[in-house]
Chain A
Amino acid sequence: MSMQAEPLTRRGKKGTGAGPENKEVGQDRKQKTQGRAAALLIIPSMIVLGIVIVYPVIEAIVMSLQKDAGLDPVTGTFVAGGFAGFYNYIHWILQQCNTPNGQASCPAGTLGSQFWSATGTTFLLTVVSVALETVIGFWMAIIMSRTFRGRGALRAAVLVPWAIPTAVTAKLWFFIFAFDGIANTLFHTSILWTGSEVPARSAIIIADVWKTTPFMALLILAGLQMIPDQVYEAAKVDGATAWQRFRLITLPLVKPALMVAILFRTLDALRMYDLPAIMTGGANGTTTLSILVVNQIRVGFNSAAALSTITFLIIFIVAFIFVRFLGANAVESATNSGKAK
């Protein structure tokens, strides 16, 4: 009965009956009161986020347009700063420094000379880590989705690396990769893991993969569980091989969840700080953009603010590319599920 009654009242939109029309007015009013209630409930959170995020970001942009106070390299006198336009941005992007001889390339070893290498390091670490995490995470998710005794224990175990603070993870892997540590002992190698570029980066990537693959695996697992068993059974009956089932059913159906997982992990990896800061201190080609910003804070707030704004923009652009061109839309999926209910 009620199943039929609903479409009737909806169709009554254009009807002349008094009943449906009243209902329409009622719904309109409901929408309005709901809007007001929603505003009351949401505005406090928005104000808090405004204070803790929007204000600092605007403040950072304002700061980034100011000159850092310090000694003028030409005259040797103290300069109080003042408006600098885009000087700080140009300083980072063109790696130009103020020297006694005017504008010149920043000398090697100074923070100013490291912007592009830090950007490269950040992207390299991000791409390699996220790629490994996606592949291993997918494999873990497939295993965890099977039914077998001890599945609950396995799902609990993968949460252990996720729960450990990154600072502790960094120290743990620093110990594992120590010169006399278990990694060298186990593989009969004598590598100075944090002593040169490739081993140092590898160590950081391994630690990152260990810590964050479980998160990836659980997101993918949740996606896998949305696929009904019947689809696989039907494909099996039609003679699809295991590889065909994976490529033609699993991959396309799990893609939305997978893309959201990759988006989250990518944005998270682009701001990587804890692991390299603790494991190598940024030495040997492991200075990420976040580390460069933190190092710069001690030297000059304003050019640090410019660099942090650039970092923010880079992450924003990557997020935009993901959402716009790769179809990783977390917001869309969240709002759609609300409508479907």
Chain B
Amino acid sequence: MSATTLDPAAAKSVARRRERWSSSRTYISAAIILIWCLLPFYWMIVTAFRDVGYTFDPTPWFTHVTWDNFTTVFSESLGNHFAQNLLNSLIVATVTTAVALLFGVFAAYALARLEFRFKFLVLGFVLGASMFPGVAIVTPLFQLFTNIGWFGTYQALIIPNISFVLPLTVYTLTSFFREMPWELEEAARIDGCTQGEAFRKVIMPLAAPAVFTTAILAFIGAWNEFLIASQLSSEATKTVTVAIAYFAGSQPHQEPYTAVMAAGTVVTIPLVILVLVFQRKIVAGLTAGAVK
């Protein structure tokens, strides 16, 4: 409308100015989001490297830098067994992920590729299971594991973890498998591949990224679990999330903020690196199924 009343040059300059304004508004909003998401994380790292005496120093950059907090975190003499806690988390999360993938891959293949009755029911059950409240199974399992002497074992943590990691695995993999170009398998057969060759040379390379992404999501889920671990772990099998929640510092009767931030940094940095490297895949995995 306005373009007809203005000469073309003026109209162009108005449009350009409006575009520049809207793009600078986008950049301002993006900056706000960036700061909101990263600032608390940055603050954790700054505090992790700060001398205990300057715990509440509000200086926004690195000052009074020290490794002491990390020494405290791993200090056995203070009653912290953080290396053991890390190992426990690693064992629990790895085994949970492996078991969930082992079963989940087959179920997801069937749900994505085959036609059968009760498909709707199975999917509904899987989704319902992933939204299941952890407390509902902790109570009976607490009693059961105490009775059969499993309390404080790894399986006492792995089994309940599977209850929410397996549904997540099945659901995510199903959505991934649906998107895959399965026609290629048939094409490979026509071109002279045996079924085994077609699976190895065509399907495996196609499915591997989906399985890998799902493994990352499952691992992060199991690694971050707190409720089950806080109830069903003993001193020997305590995972990092529980250890961080009930941490002992260098001074008694004082909340060991800097040491806790250091512990948080140790636990979080590997995850953050993982997430940044595989960002695209993780976003695809998180949103798979919920939208398409």
Check A172 for interface membership: any CB of B closer than 8 A: yes
Check A173 for interface membership: any CB of B closer than 8 A: yes
Residues of chain B within 8 A (CB-CB) of A315 are 131, 133
Q: CA–CA, A154 to B109, complex, Å?
A: 34
Is the beta-carbon distance between B290 and A38 smaller than 8 angstroms?
no
Residues of chain B within 8 A (CB-CB) of A168 are 44, 241, 244, 264, 267-268
Is the beta-carbon distance between A42 and B279 smaller than 8 angstroms?
no
Other-chain contact of B135, A34, A143, A156, A273 (Cβ < 8 Å):
A273
Is the beta-carbon distance between B163 and A53 smaller than 8 angstroms?
yes
Check B61 for interface membership: any CB of A closer than 8 A: no
The 0/1 profile, CB within 8 Å of B marked 1, for residues 240-257 of chain A is: 000000000000000011
Residues of chain A within 8 A (CB-CB) of B142 are 297, 301
- Sorting the interface of chain B by its residue count into under 10, 10 to 19, 20 to 34 or 35 or more gives 35 or more
Is the beta-carbon distance between A52 and B227 smaller than 8 angstroms?
no
Is the beta-carbon distance between A334 and B43 smaller than 8 angstroms?
no
Residues of chain A within 8 A (CB-CB) of B135 are 271, 273, 289-290, 293-294, 308, 311
Query: By DSSP majority rule, is chain A's interface helix, strand, loop, or mixed?
Result: helix
Residues of chain B within 8 A (CB-CB) of A335 are 119-120, 123
Check A5 for interface membership: any CB of B closer than 8 A: no
Other-chain contact of B40, A144, A172, A222 (Cβ < 8 Å):
A172
Is the beta-carbon distance between B163 and A49 smaller than 8 angstroms?
yes
Residues of chain B within 8 A (CB-CB) of A34 are 114-116
Is the beta-carbon distance between B241 and A175 smaller than 8 angstroms?
no
Other-chain contact of B134, A150, A182, A260, A271 (Cβ < 8 Å):
A271
Determine the residue in chain B with the shortest Cβ distance to A217: B33
Is the beta-carbon distance between B107 and A45 smaller than 8 angstroms?
yes
The 0/1 profile, CB within 8 Å of A marked 1, for residues 231-244 of chain B is: 10000000011101
Is the beta-carbon distance between B287 and A53 smaller than 8 angstroms?
no
- Shortest Cβ distance from A260 into chain B, in angstroms? 5
Q: CA–CA, A44 to B160, complex, Å?
A: 17
Q: CA–CA, A219 to B56, complex, Å?
A: 37
Q: Which residues of B contact A (CB under 8 A)?
A: 1, 23, 26-27, 29-30, 33-34, 36-38, 40-41, 43-44, 47, 55-56, 58, 99, 103-104, 106-107, 109-112, 114-117, 119-120, 122-129, 131-144, 159-160, 162-163, 166-167, 170-171, 174-175, 178, 220, 223-224, 226-227, 230-231, 240-242, 244-245, 255, 257, 260-261, 264, 267-268, 271-272, 274-276, 279, 282-283, 286-287, 289-292
